């Protein structure tokens, strides 16, 4: 009797992705993501509108169903009739459906000031999608019950899944709009953005902000106690971030428009309690030869070199930190060492006791590069203090100047076949090591090939290099191996194997003799 094949049930995200991916055709992922995510946003906002409309009618307030204020008071976007999903779905097979979608999105943005600059502008009609494929895509998205289980954040899950999938599709040199989820989780759990102002100077599609809110929810905190500020250079990614945050009901100030953080700082006077960022790696020619030389963000430091923006990003974040601020951000490993003005800036950062931890991440975690990169933690308040979350109290100790080095290159699990991610358990272990090191009466211990607590004097002796391998103990695992003994054991094992199989072929024996094995059968 033939065995019945058992198929693994697919999640709503996987099912929708496979359906949409088949429809993509000749449209590039970099374009197609704005189509799919724009439609998911439209479906979600419409479902929320209809839900609120039904509530008003049930409450006997039917005469108010077309008044914006009665929707805004519940953080629901007001939609005119031609912006509602029911209208779009009914007209899905019409020749002008792309224009109708563009009109719907335009009217939603016009009627809801918080969405200013968020939605695609005449995008669908400009793209020239095949009408039948667009209709099929509308039918598939129509199957999503966005309100089925609000506790599960179905739309947020779908949105995040699609962002990661599009980043994978776009591959090397693209996909900068998305930072892998496990890296964002690690940063949030390490710096604990629980209250105050959170800032990301290169916010992409807003993943750092989403994870900050999830951190607060996981620790039973209050989302109303944080304010979010960010900036994004690419206009289409700026729109993605606004939609991503709107879908989750997260209020944020991303500036008046998409803009270069260096040339057009949208938050010049901001002082943030927490900074989370994944700025572009090794950005070239980020300023003109004579531009930004007197920028206040470099005050007290050398001007970052024009050839590489890594230290420009670092000093931008240092300038934005509040008196007790903490920053967690990703940079290419080259920023850990090197000379010139970068050396002078790094030396002063260490002398000012700002660098708290340097964490080398595994390779192949990013969709855009296979290199190993570094997580930096800067902390302007290393003195004794108490952190109190609703479910956590932690007493920090006064420490002499110094910092923690961690090497995670042997940690991680396979993801999407050729990538690596950190599991929840691994993130928990890493975070516990870091917090143990920070705490008064801590249980921290140096562990070879994993972590090392370095004093300021040790770092100074190594000429202010922040390369973890210069501090973390390396174990030579081959040092105590007796290779002669292993070879003898291997010879005996092969002899036994041949005897058991009664091997008699002379050519096989000759091969072993040529290799230096004397075997008797």
Task: Determine the pLDDT at residue 160.
Answer: 78
Which residue stretches of the chain have pLDDT < 50?
1, 3-8, 503
Element holding 413 (H helix, E strand): strand 413-415
Helices (H), 396-470: 424-438, 456-461
Length of the chain: 521
Task: Determine the pLDDT at residue 7.
Answer: 45
Please give the C-alpha separations between residue 196 and each of 11, 16, 220, 248, in angstroms, as whole numbers.
36, 37, 16, 19
Please give the C-alpha separations between residue 369 and each of 21, 363, 423, in angstroms, as whole numbers.
23, 9, 20
Distance between the two ends of the chain, CA-based, in angstroms?
46
SS3 assignment, position 78: coil
Strands 226-230 and 196-200: parallel
Strands 321-332 and 272-277: parallel
Which residue reads 């300023």 in tokens?
287
Strands 392-396 and 385-389: antiparallel
| Alpha-carbon gap, residue 189 to 432, rounded angstroms | 10
Please give the C-alpha separations between residue 188 and each of 94, 171, 386, in angstroms, as whole numbers.
46, 25, 18
DSSP secondary structure, 266-283, as one string? S-TT--EEEEEE-PPTT-
Percentages helix, strand, coil for the chain (3-state, rounded to 5) are 45, 15, 40
| Alpha-carbon gap, residue 252 to 26, rounded angstroms | 35
Instruction: Supply the pTM of this predicted model.
Output: 0.83
Task: Determine the pLDDT at residue 150.
Answer: 62
Phi-psi region of 441 (alpha: psi -120 to 50; beta: other; left: phi over 0): left
10 Å Cβ neighbour count for 249?
12
Structural domains in the chain plus CATH codes: 12-168 (1.20.1260.30), 183-470 (3.40.50.150), 483-514 (no CATH)
| Alpha-carbon gap, residue 178 to 452, rounded angstroms | 31
Task: Determine the pLDDT at residue 415.
Answer: 82
Q: What is the pLDDT of residues 468-489, one digit of tens each?
A: 999 999 887 555 555 566 667 6
């Amino acid at each position: 009797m033939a065995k019945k094949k058992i198929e693994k049930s697919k999640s709503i995200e996987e099912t929708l992705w496979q359906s949409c991916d088949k429809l993509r055709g000749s449209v590039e992922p970099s374009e197609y993501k704005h189509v799919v995510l724009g439609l998911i946003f439209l479906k979600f906002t419409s479902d929320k509108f209809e839900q609120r409309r039904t509530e008003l009618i049930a409450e006997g307030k039917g005469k108010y169903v077309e008044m914006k204020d009665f929707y805004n008071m519940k953080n629901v976007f007001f939609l005119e009739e031609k912006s509602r999903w029911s209208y779009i779905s009914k007209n899905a097979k019409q020749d002008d459906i792309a224009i109708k979608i563009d009109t719907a999105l335009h009217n939603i943005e016009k009627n809801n000031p918080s969405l200013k600059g968020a939605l695609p502008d005449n995008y669908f009609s400009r793209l020239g999608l095949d009408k039948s494929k667009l209709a099929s895509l509308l039918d598939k998205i129509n199957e999503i019950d966005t309100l089925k289980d609000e506790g599960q954040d179905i739309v947020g899950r779908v949105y995040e899944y699609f962002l990661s999938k599009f980043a994978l599709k776009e591959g090397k040199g693209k996909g900068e709009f998305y930072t892998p989820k496990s890296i964002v989780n690690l940063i949030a759990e390490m710096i604990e953005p629980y209250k105050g102002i959170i800032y990301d100077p290169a916010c992409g599609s807003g993943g750092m902000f989403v994870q900050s809110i999830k951190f607060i929810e996981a620790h039973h905190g209050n989302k109303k106690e944080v304010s979010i500020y960010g900036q994004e250079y690419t206009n289409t990614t700026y729109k993605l971030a606004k939609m991503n945050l709107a879908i989750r009901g997260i209020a944020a100030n991303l500036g008046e428009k998409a803009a270069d953080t260096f040339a057009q700082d949208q938050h010049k006077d901001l002082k943030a309690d927490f900074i989370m960022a994944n700025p572009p790696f090794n950005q070239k020619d980020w300023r003109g030869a004579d531009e930004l030389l007197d920028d206040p963000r470099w005050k007290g430091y050398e001007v970052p070199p024009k050839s590489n923006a890594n230290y420009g990003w670092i000093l931008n974040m240092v300038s934005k930190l509040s008196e007790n601020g903490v920053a967690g951000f990703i940079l290419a490993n080259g920023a850990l060492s090197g000379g010139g003005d970068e050396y002078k800036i790094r030396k002063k950062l260490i002398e000012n006791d700002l660098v708290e931890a340097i964490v080398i991440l595994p390779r192949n975690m990013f969709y855009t590069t296979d290199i190993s990169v570094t997580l930096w933690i800067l902390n302007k308040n290393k003195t004794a203090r108490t952190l109190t979350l609703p479910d956590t109290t932690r007493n920090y100790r006064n420490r002499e100047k110094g910092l923690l080095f961690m090497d995670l290159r042997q940690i991680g699990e396979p993801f999407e076949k050729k990538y690596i991610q950190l599991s929840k358990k691994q993130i928990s272990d890493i975070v516990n090591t870091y917090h143990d090191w920070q705490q008064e009466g801590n249980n921290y211990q140096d562990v070879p090939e994993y972590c090392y607590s370095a004093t300021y004097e040790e770092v100074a002796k190594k000429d202010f290099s922040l390369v973890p391998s210069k501090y973390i103990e390396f174990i030579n695992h081959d040092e105590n191996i007796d290779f002669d003994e292993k070879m003898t054991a291997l010879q005996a094992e092969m002899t036994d194997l041949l005897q058991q199989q009664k091997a008699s072929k002379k050519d096989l024996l000759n091969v072993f003799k040529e290799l230096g094995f004397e075997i008797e059968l």
